[in-house]
Amino acid sequence: MPDIVISGAGGFIGRHLATALAAAGLTTASYRDFRDGGATADTFVHCANIHADPRDNAAFTADVLATVGGRVKRFVQLQSFATLHGLGRLDATRFNFGKAPLVMAPYGLGKLMQERSICAEAARHPQIAIRLLYLPVVLGDGGSWSRVLDQARRAGVALPPRMSAAARANYIEVGDVARHLIATRGDTGAGIARAILNRPDSANLVWEAFFAGAAVTHENSPKALVKLAVTGAALAAYRLKSMLLPAKIPPGTIDRRPAHPPMPAPAPAPPSEAQPVRFTGLIQHIVRTQPYLPA
């Protein structure tokens, strides 16, 4: 019997999370193996995400909960801070701390609709502890992000136009998620509960401090300004599309989707170049939706 089952175990968060939990002495299993077997588990962590279509993503989430609902004590959904702030739709105030989302990118909208489907499906599984865990930007422990920080300190950081280096930088690392899951293993009381996961230093952390030791510049070229405008227009268009299309999500059914072929191993990182680390205009959207929130 695995201690923790992880959907999306081959993805960025899921892969790092499985490694961190195994290092702590816990046994893990992928969703597909668990789904097609007959074992039970203490905790199910839903990391999988269908990025291309938020509605398909929400329907998949409902199916996952319907599939594992009788075999786990706790269902943990990893949510995004992007679902907690600003102006939005879908009456998010009913289930998001009384707040509605900012202009939604597909990922944020998908997370919002995931929560909507989970809250609806939860009524069919009153015995389960359903925990919605809100996360800011999640970075991998060590590995690739360490290389990015090293390159930033050597060659600098280029932020998009109008992006203040004094803006707050809120983040956690995958190890923080693993430690939270381990510390709350006994939290199996039935019903829905929500939690916010921050690092304490994020209360005052800004980009200048986050990239301490790196030269921070701004890309104010006409090309960069056009890219920023296009990003904003795309987000606005996506919000309009989400308002016009119905958001009905069918009740969950037993998931019998075929397994995806194994993902190829990531290519080795190329040698570091003497180029600054550049961020796209989407970072503006991320920063506005990642403020520090008291836990």
pTM of the model: 0.85
Q: Which residue has the higher pLDDT, 60 or 270?
A: 60
Q: Which residue has the higher pLDDT, 7 or 159?
A: 7
Mean pLDDT of the chain: 82
Domain range 4-249+273-288, CATH architecture? 3-Layer(aba) Sandwich (3.40)
> Exposure pattern of 111-139 as b/e (b: 16+ CB <10 Å)?
bbbbbbbbbbbbeebeebbbbbbbbbbbb
Q: Which residue has the higher pLDDT, 268 or 11?
A: 11
pLDDT at 85: 59
Q: Say how far apart CA 80 and CA 47 lie, in whole Å.
A: 11
Q: Say how far apart CA 259 and CA 96 lie, in whole Å.
A: 32
Q: How many CB atoms lie within 10 A of CB 226?
A: 12
Choice among 42-56, 89-103, 154-168, 220-234 with the minimum mean pLDDT:
89-103
CB 104 within 8 A of CB 238: yes
pLDDT score of 87 more than 50: no
Percent pLDDT > 70 in the chain is: 80
Mean pLDDT for 124-141 is: 89
pLDDT score of 254 more than 50: yes
What is the residue extent of each domain of the chain? 4-249+273-288
pLDDT at 145: 72
Q: What is the pLDDT of residues 176-234, one digit of tens each?
A: 999 999 999 999 999 999 898 988 888 888 877 888 889 988 888 898 888 888 887 87
pLDDT band at 88 (very low <50, low <70, confident <90, very high): very low
pLDDT at 48: 93
Mean pLDDT for 49-62 is: 88
